[in-house]
Amino acid sequence: MKMGTAQKQNIAIQHRYWNTHGTTQRTIISFEEWLEVGFQHQEEQGVTITKIELSQDVMYYLEKDGKKKAKLESEFLADYKTFYLGQKPQDTPFEAGVLA
C-alpha cells in the first residue's frame, strides 16, 4: 500500500514539531509543589493569601485590591487534576444531580 501525499505531509509536520519542541517528557510535580508555586506566583502579583485550617479541609482566602475570594484545598486539587494533569474530574454527587 502506497502512502499518499497528505499522509507524507502529516508525518513531515509531526517530525518538524518534534524537532522544534523536543520529545522529552515534562517532569510532573506533586500537588503540594504545584500549589506552592502557584501561591508564590500570586504573591508576586500582589495577592495576600491566608490559610485557615478547618476540621475536614483547608480554606485559603485570596485578597487583592479589596477583592476577596475563598477557595478550599479540595477545589485546588480538582484544578490540579483537571488543568495540570489533564484528567477529567469525577462528578460529585451534587454535580451528578443526586443532591439536587
Contact 81, 70 (CB under 8 A): no
pTM (2 d.p.) = 0.61
The structural domain count of the chain equals: 1
Q: Which domain holds residue 80?
A: 28-87
pLDDT > 70? residue 34:
yes
Q: Give a yes or no: residue 50 inside a domain.
A: yes
Q: Give a yes or no: residue 78 inside a domain.
A: yes
Q: Give a yes or no: residue 19 inside a domain.
A: no
pLDDT > 70? residue 14:
yes
Alpha carbons 64 and 21: distance in angstroms, whole number: 36
**Percent of the chain scored above 90 by pLDDT?**
38
